[in-house]
Structure 1
Amino acid sequence: MTLTALVRSQPQPFAGRGRPWAIAVTVALALAACGGGKKDAAADKDVKAKPALLIAPEDVRAVTQSGLIGAPVITGAIQPARRADLRAEVAAIVLQVAKDNGERVRQGDLIIRLDATAIRDSLTSAEEALRAAQQSFEQTERVLTRQRTLNQQGMTSMQALEDAEVRRNSAQSELAAAKARVVTARQQVSRTEVRAPFDGVVSERKVSVGDTVQVGRELVKVIDPASMRFEGQVSADRLGELKIGQAVSFRVNGFGDVEYRGKLARIDAAANATTRQVELIASFDQPAKAPQVAGLYAEGRVESADRRALVLAEGSVQRQGDSAFVWKIAGSQLKKVNVTLGERDERRGEVVISSGLALGDEVLRAPTGSLSDNAAVVRVKPGSGAASGVAAAPVVAASK
């Protein structure tokens, strides 16, 4: 039975007294409303949102160990170990340029063809001279044979035999010289075709069709991109800290924050008299991932085992007065951890962590916004994070 029906079922005397049942209904409804409000408030409390930081892998940075802080600095460029500057070996006019800058070539591929008309004429003349010399030699050889026969029969003098031998020897020398001239002419003809000495890429073309080139003029450069290495210089003052085989870490201009690893392969024995720097070469640990463009500026450091320390990027460190702290991710919570800082590397943007963190600890990469100690942390997939905890998502408690 409802409240209204209950009230209406009361004796009629109530009706004559100003309808007091209406008052009862109002009171009952008010009590019911108060009771329902308490239940709604309790339900709202159960589902109250608790802030949790959404942390994706890109929002996290780990504490690493490095021997690069304060290590010798190397500056230089990325250069190929295999490179060829092809120059003109004959004076001629450029007739054809078969390969342009950036095009790949195989060993023996034609790159530039020079005009060989005059050289072919020289070859023809040399071949004719060779033919005449061959005939002259054969004739003198036959004369010498007859003179020997006649001399044995006593029909000619020794002087005639000696003269025949002299003429034969002279013809033989002329034949040898004619053969050499033919070989030289053929070489000159072959040098009018400039071909790739190895598999690689045309890096710099210096001539065009119609140009007249002289002997020694540079025509084209060919490099092997698979043989890239870091050729740099280091101050002679730091030479005592370097050894063949030491690890090198460097960055290449044009490739952002990509860090390449390598090893010292060669250290020159003499310093430059003007700059007092020593040239050295570092090979890539992964040659297949090396930049394929020669001449790019690079800068790096030689890693030293004596300088190894815990390091962290400065963007993860926040300062408050004279103290510094980081936001460490410990399980499912965010912890504010005070740290002691050491030496700073301006080139790499890193700072030594003397105390407060251990190797492998995870901290927020770039903490911003309002963060609180012991805040809940939720790991999410890449691309779904809150950029080091700038935004928060609710964690809803289950309602009983």
Structure 2
Amino acid sequence: MLRPSLIVLSLALALSACSKGNKDSKESDQAKAAKALDKPLLVTEEDLQLIQNSALSSGPVITGSIQPERKADLRSELSTVVLQVLKENGETVKRGDLLVRLDDTSIRDSLHSAEEAARASAQTLEQAERQFQRLKTLRASGMTSTQLLEDAEMRRNNAQSDLVAARARSVQARQQLQRTEVRAPFDGVVSERKVSAGDTAQIGKELVKVIDPTSMRFEGLLSADKVNNVKIGQMVSFRVNGYGNQGFTGKVKRVDMAANATTRQVEVLVAFADSNPPRVSGLYAEGRIETGSTQTLMIKSTALLRDGDKAYAWRVRDGLLKKVSLIVGERDPRRGDFEVRSGLVNGDKVVRNPVSTLMDGQKVQMIASVASNVPTASAPAAAPVVDPASASAASASAAATTASTPPAGK
């Protein structure tokens, strides 16, 4: 069993060793930090953003969805059974393409009956006309009475009326027969199929919906207290859910004169100004109507660092890297840049895409961009910030590889 004095001595030696190890570790970290600060950070002009005054658009916010201007909700005009649905959701159609075929058995029977009635009425009218002409000739020679002539004329007129009615029923039956074939009213896409083969289609029942994807527009809602600031032709910048950070632009096409009775919001129609608008309807969209603009300092969203409610940026000045605190304001919906209210001045340069290895007070050395050294047809992307340590390691590895590779032919 160890004596108490030996135990105390052992604990003292262990604590001394731990403190010495921690001290050595701290000194090693400080030495590494000092060494890193001595190595310059290699950057190109493409790695930096020049802070300068830019136009910041302002105006009321508008929210809504992307909807087609040309759309058709095709409904049944007959009470019959659906025989066939020829198009599915998402399929493109041309004007006049057959979409749905309805049962036409009873309508064809009605059409045949009407046509036969019209044919019989035509024969009756022909006979009545011959009888009337015959009695008219006899009456002129005094061989028949006026009463018989008037009776023949009446029969001729009644037969003529029956023929007109029979032909009208025939036309109506033919129109009903045409309604059993539901066709596309314009070039577009089937957006929604409502029925399947075997369903009973009542009068007014929805069958299919067809939209024109080239006629998309932004149907947004605006707060009623902002209506006075909106005018037709004003530019609108907005984003569409499902298209990431891609921005779209448009112009105010129409402002409704009546507010919604429930929300008290006013609908605003925005026509796309882009050459390639979204082709999917119903997507949520949000943007801002540009009723005015001001000149202010702007910074790219990629150059901002967030830490809770605080914002920072890495500024490059006099060959040194400095982490500065910023006060940012509104975000420009067109480009996604932020307003700089404090922390930077006009002409400052900041790192466009900062990395986690940057250190406050580190030296900065400007180098030529890759695009200026490599004469290619298309300019490459901006070179990233170069870490000197990784660059030296890569050079040493390349040199070792060259030395270990034997010359050709040996």
TM more than 0.5? yes
Match of 1:181 in 2: 169
The residue correspondences of 1:114-263 to structure 2 (distance < 5 A) are 114-263=102-251
2:65 counterpart of 1:77: yes
Match of 1:36 in 2: none
2:261 counterpart of 1:273: yes
Q: Read off the aligned partner of 1:343 and give its amino acid letter.
A: G
Q: TM-score by structure 2 length? A: 0.73
Match of 1:290 in 2: 277
Match of 2:330 in 1: 344
Deviations for 1:249-277, whole angstroms, at most 9, x for unmatched residues?
11111111110011001110111121010
Larger-Rg structure: 1
CA distance in 2, matches of 1:168, 1:234: 69
Q: What is the number of residues matched between the two proteins? A: 343
CA distance in 2, matches of 1:352, 1:76: 26
CA distance in 1, matches of 2:50, 2:204: 56
Give the C-alpha shift of residue 64 in structure 1: 7.4
Give the C-alpha shift of residue 51 in structure 1: 3.4
Give the C-alpha shift of residue 335 in structure 1: 7.0
Flag the 1:274–1:324 CA change in 2: closer, same or farther, 3 A. closer
> Does the 8 Å CA contact 1:339/1:354 hold for their aligned counterparts?
no
Q: Read off the aligned partner of 2:330 and give its amino acid letter.
A: R
- Alignment partner of 2:256: what SS? strand
- Alignment partner of 1:289: what SS? coil
2:57 aligned residue (47, 53, 68): 68
Flag the 1:341–1:50 CA change in 2: closer, same or farther, 3 A. closer
Flag the 1:155–1:188 CA change in 2: closer, same or farther, 3 A. same
Flag the 1:323–1:236 CA change in 2: closer, same or farther, 3 A. closer
CA distance in 2, matches of 1:310, 1:157: 109
Q: Read off the aligned partner of 2:120 and give its amino acid letter.
A: A
Q: Read off the aligned partner of 2:64 and give its amino acid letter.
A: G
CA distance in 2, matches of 1:143, 1:360: 108
CA distance in 1, matches of 2:63, 2:172: 46
- Alignment partner of 1:184: what SS? helix
Give the C-alpha shift of residue 204 in structure 1: 0.2
The residue correspondences of 1:7-86 to structure 2 (distance < 5 A) are 50-53=40-43, 65-69=54-58, 71-86=59-74
Give the C-alpha shift of residue 347 in structure 1: 7.9
> Does the 8 Å CA contact 1:310/1:359 hold for their aligned counterparts?
no
CA distance in 2, matches of 1:255, 1:243: 27
> Does the 8 Å CA contact 2:237/2:333 hold for their aligned counterparts?
no
Give the C-alpha shift of residue 243 in structure 1: 0.4
Q: Read off the aligned partner of 1:133 and give its amino acid letter.
A: S
- Alignment partner of 2:210: what SS? strand
> Any unmatched runs of 5+ in structure 1?
1-47
Deviations for 1:105-155, whole angstroms, at most 9, x for unmatched residues?
111111111111111111111111111111111111111111221221122
2:366 aligned residue (377, 386, 389): 377
Q: Read off the aligned partner of 1:377 and give its amino acid letter.
A: M
Flag the 1:243–1:384 CA change in 2: closer, same or farther, 3 A. closer
CA distance in 2, matches of 1:177, 1:334: 98
Give the C-alpha shift of residue 206 in structure 1: 0.5
Percent of aligned pairs with the same residue? 49
- Alignment partner of 1:269: what SS? coil
- Alignment partner of 2:164: what SS? helix
Match of 2:303 in 1: 316
> Does the 8 Å CA contact 1:67/1:309 hold for their aligned counterparts?
yes
Flag the 1:65–1:346 CA change in 2: closer, same or farther, 3 A. closer
Match of 1:37 in 2: none
CA RMSD of aligned residues (A): 3.5
Flag the 1:258–1:171 CA change in 2: closer, same or farther, 3 A. same
Flag the 1:346–1:49 CA change in 2: closer, same or farther, 3 A. closer
CA distance in 1, matches of 2:326, 2:346: 12
Match of 2:288 in 1: 301
The residue correspondences of 1:326-341 to structure 2 (distance < 5 A) are 326-327=313-314, 341=327
- Alignment partner of 2:118: what SS? helix
- Alignment partner of 2:358: what SS? coil
> Does the 8 Å CA contact 2:287/2:333 hold for their aligned counterparts?
no
Give the C-alpha shift of residue 353 in structure 1: 3.0
Flag the 1:84–1:308 CA change in 2: closer, same or farther, 3 A. farther
Deviations for 1:271-319, whole angstroms, at most 9, x for unmatched residues?
1121010001101112x41111110111111012355644334552458
Flag the 1:117–1:64 CA change in 2: closer, same or farther, 3 A. farther
Flag the 1:144–1:63 CA change in 2: closer, same or farther, 3 A. farther
CA distance in 1, matches of 2:81, 2:382: 63
Give the C-alpha shift of residue 61 in structure 1: 8.4
> Does the 8 Å CA contact 1:78/1:230 hold for their aligned counterparts?
yes
Give the C-alpha shift of residue 248 in structure 1: 0.4
CA distance in 1, matches of 2:362, 2:134: 118
> Any unmatched runs of 5+ in structure 2?
1-37, 372-379, 396-410
Flag the 1:297–1:137 CA change in 2: closer, same or farther, 3 A. same
Flag the 1:138–1:278 CA change in 2: closer, same or farther, 3 A. same
- Alignment partner of 1:68: what SS? strand
